[in-house]
Amino acid sequence: MAAVSRWDCFDAIEGDVRAMVADPRWAALPEPARAQAIASRVLAAPDGGRWLFGAHARWHRHDPAGGRWHPAAPPVDPEFRAASRVAHDTSVIPRHLVPHGPDVTADRGSVQGFVGPDVPPRITGRVRELLAAQRGRRREDFPLTGPFTEVFAEEVASPVAAVWGTLMWCAYAPAFDGNEVLLSMFGEFLARPLPGDEWVRWLSPFSLEDLAALYGERVRAGHPEAGRRLVALMADTAGVIRDDPRFRPRADALPAMLEPVLRRTGADPSAAQAGDHAVRRAWLERCPPHVTLPETSPGEHLQHVVYDLVVALGFVAAKGADPRAIAASLLAADLSEAAPGAVEELCPWLEPELRHMLRVALDDPSHPLRRCWPRTGELPTALYPPDRAAAAALLGTSYAAGLAWCRLTGTPVPERGFATASAVVHRLVHERDDPVPGDPADSGGPRIPGIPEAPGTPFRHF
């Protein structure tokens, strides 16, 4: 007899909301009607929690103590998901949780790092052409600004920085294979070796204001056309790299933000006279609303990348563990090594259960969650990702989370990377230049002793 599939209320509601928002009539609905439609699909979980699938295609969990909804990756336990029911909630849903359409239907790209899966040759070849065309530019005509002066040699002009800065800004998580062609082509321009080691380069993204400063400097110096050429180069670079999903969401957004400069229709030259902050604000105002950026809110950006980290750890559910508990443990491992005091600034942005698990993993050396911490640079065997794609996603999300909390707290990014991301690299380096293998997903493996299983609410285990 064929097995009867288990009802999954979370899948059903998510599918319903996605279909509803994708309907062309959704955008024409009055805002109160859209909010009511989302409120009528709030889930009541067996532990009494409330869950909502809404803006940016994210699940949110209600914190009854604070009254806030927090982005929270949904529970993975099948029984818990099957036992949840529509709450028929009549409470008012905050406006920012109601999807407007593109935030749910847009391509979110890939969360993988650039160690393991290489950037395709068709992209690196086109970037090389853009870069080759900048050779011979004079530093006097295109001066470097800000942090670019620390990266590039004295004779290098700002068009090279415009290409590099666009790559770094668009990347989901700029941790790159040390042999990655996309990086090696910049070798002749660098002032010093990139941070990292022989396996991986742990790079920090340049900010949107760093890119804006390249343009603003030329405008204030009386050379607006040179500034426009730099902006055109940024847009061209974004157009090339958007074919790699690890760059795509921001690479799609950047040309839209820059278009008025290229068409000479915006007030960007006047904004440049007021300073780089003003240029940055003008560009952010033109960012498509479905794209989430750290420049908009570092705290909300942290919420999104932690959500991605929990999803990337979904494979541990087959080993009897809760991905949220493992994510909290690995965040604690990174914080413990780089900036343990920063946890106080992070916690207000985390959903209550994950916040609690993060604190106990940091504060209690004997807590079972400590068993997930990397030891001697390696992940515990039970946390090995089942294949290269899963390892690249764990690398990308863990590194992105580290960059996010460093940005939020003002912590310098460690030159040797974070403990978790560095440990994941050991699962990738020996096959980093090979085609992605077709290994089946791991459906078993050792249980992680003492770690919460995967119910809807691991909070009760502590």
**What contacts 109, CB < 8 A, 6 or more positions away?**
172, 245, 246, 247, 248, 249
In the chain, what's the furthest Cα-to-Cα distance?
78
DSSP 202-262: E--PPPHHHHHHHHHHHHHTT-HHHHHHHHHHHHHHHHHHTTSTTTHHHHHHHHHHHHHHH
One domain for residues 29 and 65: yes
One domain for residues 316 and 451: yes
Nearest to 96 by CA among 74, 63, 68: 68
DSSP 55-107: GGGEEEEE-TTT--EEE-PPP--HHHHHH-EE----SPPPGGGS--SHHHHS-
In a domain, residue 17? The reply is yes
Residue 138 has pLDDT above 50, yes or no: yes
One domain for residues 17 and 99: yes
Which residue range(s) make up the domain with 53?
9-105
Nearest to 241 by CA among 137, 352, 359, 124: 124
Instruction: Classify strands 43-44 and 85-86 as parallel, antiparallel or unpaired.
Output: antiparallel
In a domain, residue 291? The reply is no
Q: Which whole-number Å values give the CA distances from 378 to 176, 200, 291, 292, 373, in the listed order?
A: 19, 15, 34, 32, 9
Give the total number of structural domains in the chain.
3
Task: Provide the percentage of residues in the chain whose pLDDT is more than 70.
Answer: 92
One domain for residues 439 and 328: yes
* 3-class SS of residue 177: strand
Question: Which pair of structure tokens corresponds to residue 364?
Answer: 């209690």
378 phi, psi to nearest 5 deg: -125, 150
Domain boundary residue, one of 252, 285, 318: 285
Residue 391 has pLDDT above 70, yes or no: yes
One domain for residues 252 and 151: yes
Q: Which whole-number Å values give the CA distances from 328 to 306, 335, 360, in the listed order?
A: 9, 10, 9
**What contacts 147, CB < 8 A, 6 or more positions away?**
206, 210
Question: Which pair of structure tokens corresponds to residue 311?
Answer: 């999803």
For 192-226, how does the pLDDT look when each residue is reduced to its tens digit (9 = 90+)? 999 988 789 999 989 999 999 999 999 999 999 99
In a domain, residue 345? The reply is yes
Domain boundary residue, one of 55, 74, 105: 105
One domain for residues 349 and 399: yes
Q: Residue 81 carries which side chain, given as an amino acid letter? A: R
DSSP one-letter code for 50: E
In a domain, residue 113? The reply is no
In a domain, residue 114? The reply is no
In a domain, residue 55? The reply is yes
DSSP 304-337: HHHHHHHHHGGGGGGGT--HHHHHHHHHHHHHHH
Give the pLDDT confidence score for residue 1 in this predicted structure: 42
One domain for residues 313 and 457: yes
One domain for residues 175 and 73: no
Contact 176, 203 (CB under 8 A): yes
417-440 residues labelled b (16+ CB within 10 A) or e (exposed): bbbbbbbbbebbeeebeeeeeeee
Confidence of residue 135 (pLDDT cuts 50, 70, 90): confident
Domain boundary residue, one of 105, 133, 153: 105
Query: Residues in the chain, how many?
Result: 462
375 phi, psi to nearest 5 deg: -125, 135
Give the pLDDT confidence score for residue 345 in this predicted structure: 93
One domain for residues 431 and 377: yes
For 289-342, how does the pLDDT look when each residue is reduced to its tens digit (9 = 90+)? 889 899 989 999 999 999 999 999 999 999 999 999 999 999 999 999 999 889
Confidence of residue 3 (pLDDT cuts 50, 70, 90): very low
One domain for residues 311 and 433: yes
One domain for residues 68 and 132: no
In a domain, residue 261? The reply is yes
One domain for residues 52 and 177: no
Average pLDDT, the chain: 89
User: What global pTM score does this model have?
Assistant: 0.92
DSSP one-letter code for 460: G
In a domain, residue 258? The reply is yes
For 236-261, how does the pLDDT look when each residue is reduced to its tens digit (9 = 90+)? 999 999 999 999 999 999 999 999 99
Contact 398, 421 (CB under 8 A): yes
